[in-house]
Amino acid sequence: MNQVPRLFRRFIPQLLHMIVLPVFFFAFMLIYRPFDVVDFLGSEWYGVHATMISCIILACVVIIRLIYYYIPMRINYTIYAFWCLAEVIFMSFFAALYIWLILDRSIQYFDVLTFSFQIIFFILILPYTILALSLRLAEYHKKETDPEMNSVRRMRFYDERHNLKIVLTADAILYISAEINYVNIVYLENDKVRTYILRSSMKAIEELCQDNGLMRCHRSFYVNPSHIKVLRKDMEGVMYAELDADDVRHIPVTRKYYASLSEAL
């Protein structure tokens, strides 16, 4: 399953969700008044209730989208769809709680929750779809029009807060190793070996490495196969890769990854 593009995780798309979803819901409720919602909420205070529910949706979207922005996760389109559905359920829960407490009717809370979910889901499915398709098209257009992405593969490394820290060409990277809460990016700059320490995890950069030709050779290592000079095995049977750069450590290679790495050479 294809992974969700990195654009989906940037702050601006999250901000768009925070603005578009509650505004669209409020406008739709005032203009179309769907699902006999006027009879359910009452016509006298309908505008007030619609405003309050829209504010509840705003608060819920802000919370969920900030969690999505700050927690590093590998998400494909199926998981993203379930994430959006969970977001709608979260909104519905608090909207139903407001309606149930304010209206003070002899009606079961879960009946109100079902009604709230139907309203929120069917109203917001349109802006959710439009936003997702717009982000997907924007990512596709960027790949098609960006000459750097077409000619030279550039790897953009972000820290755990999604702040851009360093941009490197894929060909310049020798290997990447993990160290507790950091990763060491070892690369060539003007034929000199440099190391950049990035506060991130191997899991967070896994997709980026795979998309740019780096291969996993060990639990804690990604290596650039274009810089491997030879694969060797020492007297104790331990396998490692020698790189074509001076003063660079030998990279361990486990049996799990040896076959795929050797085929790439």
Q: Are 199 and 181 in contact (CB under 8 A)?
A: yes
pLDDT, tens digit, 9 for 90 and up, residues 53-108: 999 999 999 999 999 888 866 678 888 999 999 999 999 999 999 999 987 667 88
Residue 3 DSSP one-character state: B
- Quick one: 34 and 130 in the same domain? yes
Q: Are residues 89 and 70 in the same domain?
A: yes
Asked if residue 133 and residue 32 are part of one domain, the reply reads yes
Indicate if the pLDDT at residue 173 is higher than 70. yes
Contacts of 237 (CB under 8 A, 6+ apart): none
* Rg over CA atoms, the chain: 25
Give the count of domains, the chain: 2
pLDDT tens readout for residues 41-54: 888 889 999 999 99
One domain, residues 24 and 111: yes
Which regions of 52-208 does DSSP assign to beta strands (E)? Answer: 154-158, 164-169, 173-179, 182-189, 192-198
d(CA 157, CA 72): 13
Whether residues 11 and 138 fall in one domain: yes
Total-model pTM: 0.62
Please give the residue range of the domain that contains residue 205.
Answer: 153-264
Q: What is the pLDDT of residues 124-136, one digit of tens each?
A: 999 999 999 999 8
What's the CA gap between 34 and 54, in Å, rounded?
A: 15
Do residues 98 and 119 touch, judged by C-beta distance below 8 A?
no
Q: Is residue 1 part of a domain?
A: no
Q: Is residue 187 part of a domain?
A: yes
